[in-house]
Amino acid sequence: MYSCDDLIAERLGQKLEEKGKSTINLAKWMGHPFSEGYPEAEAFYLELEGAVISQICDELENSSQKDKQVVVDTTGSLIYLEKKLLNRLRNLTLTVQLKLPEEKHEQLFEAYLLDPKPVIWGGEYLPREGESSQNALGRCYRELLSFRNERYGLLADCVLDYSFHHCAKTGVEELLELVKNNYKMKP
C-alpha cells in the first residue's frame, strides 16, 4: 500500500522536523488559506505530490508483480495534478472515489476544525466582502468538498460510499473485495 500523505511528509523532512512528521503537523506547516506563506506551501506540497505520484507510477510500471493488487491512497488534492500524470496513474490503477454525501459536509468541516488536515484549496477559498475568516472557511470548505466530489467523479472508475472509509472493520482486503464486487466499466 502506498500512502501519499506519508510519502509527502517524508519528502518534507526538514520543514516538518521541528513540528514532527504527522498529518496534524503537516497541516500546521501548510496553514489555512488565509495564513501567511500558504500559497508557497500549497505550491510546494503539490510539487511534492506530483513527484510522489510519479514515483509510484514508476514503481508500478517497473514491478515484476504487475498482477499483484496494490492500493494507492491518494490525497484530496490529486485532482490538481497535471492531466498527463493523472492519466498515467489511471492507466496503471483502477481509480476509486469514496463519494462524500452532501449531508456529511458539515460534519467533515467540524472534524477538520478539531483535527486539522493539510488542505489544498486550489483557488477555492474566496471570502466575500465583510465575511469573517471563520465563516469564509466554513462556506468555502463545503464548496470545496462539492467541487472535489465532482472532479473525482470524472476520474473514478468505481464509486463507493464514503462511509466505507470510516468503518473500523474495513481494511485493504475489504476495500479490494468491495471494489471487485461493485466495479462496473464506465460507459
Q: Note whether residue 187 is domain-resident.
A: no
Residues in Cβ contact with 181 at an 8 Å cutoff, skipping those fewer than 6 apart? none
Judge whether 109 and 135 are in contact, CB under 8 Å: no
Residue 57 lies in a domain: yes
pLDDT by residue (tens digit) across 121-176?
Answer: 999 999 999 999 889 999 999 999 999 999 999 998 888 887 766 666 777 777 77
CA separation for the pair 114, 119 (Å, rounded): 14
> Quick check: 157 and 182 in contact, CB under 8 A?
no
pLDDT digits (tens, 9 = 90+) for 38-48: 999 999 999 99
Higher pLDDT, 177 or 102: 102
The pTM is what? 0.85
Answer yes or no: is 101 within a domain.
yes
CATH number at residue 11: 3.40.50
Provide the pLDDT confidence category of residue 186 given band limits of 50, 70 and 90. Answer: very low
Strand ranges inside the chain, DSSP E: 2-3, 72-73, 96-99, 158-161
Number of domains composing the chain = 1
What range does the domain containing 72 cover? 2-182
